[in-house]
Structure 1
């Protein structure tokens, strides 16, 4: 295995073995999905495995979803300890998986696609080893302004101060994708990079005109803003949505139902994208099989804690219409359950 691809789970196990035994490095670990444990060989006792999952900032959906996944995997598999790592989002998580800084990462499907194909931010450097375990929820485009702002549609943002999201995040990428279609760019509008929490405060203090969120709904940072001041969700026209979808293969039409946010009385049509739990192709197949099984068997518990994850209960949601291949360990699990067929 390439040194740059050595996964953190192997490093974690090595550390545990060294601390426990005070002796040299163990051989390549073997994951036994029957006895549920990491074993340096097929006869020794299972060893604790420590994994890290990359999320995003705490104002969006990735962070709590990542926490729910970590808790579920740790609870279902006694020889797994899963920690979360906050980041700027999908782009950082792809890079973290690629360089071995994290073992798993939540990645928006649009970012996964350009990374795998070597386009946009990954131009000339495709991340060909990126693989999927499962889709876990959908992110939707949400634009929020103060209710007294003279802004109703997203195209009204031209010439305004617009908080796109953290720099390099999926939130920023999706905002730019949509605004480009609408003819809004940095030459005619002021683009700013804020986290959701600080952006909401900036809008309330009239330092920013609008904030964009791209996450599972309701987005915590936007709901906190709606609870503190009267707000409005901006709309796309039907023609605008059609153009946005035509230019972005990973997106699909969706709706923000009425009542999603405090004071929201009407549904708002928008677009969204699946969020994926990704790993490197180099991760051990039996380990990924065990993670996939534990994740799939924990859907009810995760959806109860994070309702946005209830989408995992929908037929085909987890394993179909994905922009990059399933990891062989995940595919093996889905095939055994009769969910994926040739």
Structure 2
């Protein structure tokens, strides 16, 4: 009888220990965040959809998306170890990593790593018809929203103005995000604004439905100059009909949107996230029209920082790189 009781106690003790360890393993979760951008751009809806898709398809991973001032701030967040992953323009990511270009007076952020190139981001220059603005040169002396502080959009605005012989001192600069640009254009508080995002973007749709607006073109000559001068810029066209009142194609500049991360992030986690992205990218196409442009054929376009080891492993596994 004593032996049976002893056996029972041992069985119960072993079961309890196994249960504790099993529960611990089952409860262990990896939390990862994606810094996106303002709610009026493309980063935010795609980032939210990506976070949900990863959480649903990578066991043990909980991913959340957060708003931010976008590209440059996102790189700085990774540099300070305050966020694991982020979206960022290819050009500003390269400048942050190398401390060159618009960021030549900063410290390089050497822990930036690439996961994937997602889709082309187009620089929209929006003006109200009432402002009379038809060219970049017409922005002189006008009230212009140039993007949030430390955003890629603000860097794009400065570059484009400089290419046309203007500086921020020549315009009345407002450092405001996409939603604020839209609201102030609608309210007549600014004359024009820059928005770098995949088209169509919700903030510009909002403007077009409430005010007569124009998209200011960049001349083909200036586009050629900027593409030749600055890596990661490319020529594009905003098609007619994407925004109310825009009935002709508008020549513009674009730069790839990258999904980047901290070099210290686990290679296993990054491998699983990269794999999930490409196996379930159809989910992103349902959220935004730019989702259909997220393809393996362009997965490394504009990748001016080293790939994370986990992403590199996946791309080697599928034969995209050797």
Q: Are 1:63 and 2:44 an aligned pair? A: yes
- On the 8 A contact 1:68/1:306 being kept in 2, the answer is no
Aligned twin of 2:162: 180
- Give the superposition deviation at 1:321: 3.6
Inter-partner Cα distance in structure 2 for 1:60 and 1:45 = 37
Query: Secondary structure of the equivalent of 1:279?
Result: strand
- On the 8 A contact 1:115/1:127 being kept in 2, the answer is yes
Aligned twin of 1:337: 318
- Give the superposition deviation at 1:250: 1.3
Aligned twin of 2:76: 95
Aligned twin of 1:206: 188
Aligned-residue RMSD, C-alpha: 2.0
Inter-partner Cα distance in structure 1 for 2:303 and 2:95 = 13
Q: Are 1:260 and 2:279 an aligned pair? A: no
Q: Are 1:281 and 2:263 an aligned pair? A: yes
- Give the superposition deviation at 1:114: 0.7
Q: Are 1:155 and 2:155 an aligned pair? A: no
- On the 8 A contact 2:256/2:302 being kept in 1, the answer is no
Would the alpha carbon gap of residues 102 and 272 (structure 1) be closer, same or farther in structure 2, given more than 3 Å must change?
A: same
Inter-partner Cα distance in structure 2 for 1:69 and 1:122 = 32
Deviations 1:233-277 (A, max 9, x none): 111111111122222111011110111111211111101111111
Inter-partner Cα distance in structure 2 for 1:74 and 1:187 = 46
Aligned twin of 1:16: none
Deviations 1:39-63 (A, max 9, x none): 99xxx55722111111111111111
TM-score by length of 2: 0.89
Q: After TM superposition, where is structure 1 displaced by more than 6 Å over at least 4 residues in a row?
A: none
Deviations 1:186-239 (A, max 9, x none): 332211112222222222332211011101111211110101111111111111
Query: Secondary structure of the equivalent of 2:166?
Result: coil
Query: Secondary structure of the equivalent of 2:48?
Result: helix
Q: Which runs of structure 2 are paired with 1:162-311 in the superposition (5 Å)?
A: 162-311=144-293
Would the alpha carbon gap of residues 73 and 122 (structure 1) be closer, same or farther in structure 2, given more than 3 Å must change?
A: farther
- On the 8 A contact 1:140/1:270 being kept in 2, the answer is yes
Larger helix share, 1 or 2: 2
Would the alpha carbon gap of residues 82 and 211 (structure 1) be closer, same or farther in structure 2, given more than 3 Å must change?
A: same
- Give the superposition deviation at 1:329: 0.9
- On the 8 A contact 2:124/2:194 being kept in 1, the answer is yes
Structure ID, larger Rg:
2
Aligned twin of 1:9: none
Inter-partner Cα distance in structure 2 for 1:238 and 1:152 = 15
- On the 8 A contact 2:119/2:198 being kept in 1, the answer is yes
Aligned twin of 2:90: 109
**In the comparison of the two structures, how many residue pairs are matched?**
302
Inter-partner Cα distance in structure 1 for 2:169 and 2:253 = 25
Inter-partner Cα distance in structure 2 for 1:316 and 1:129 = 26
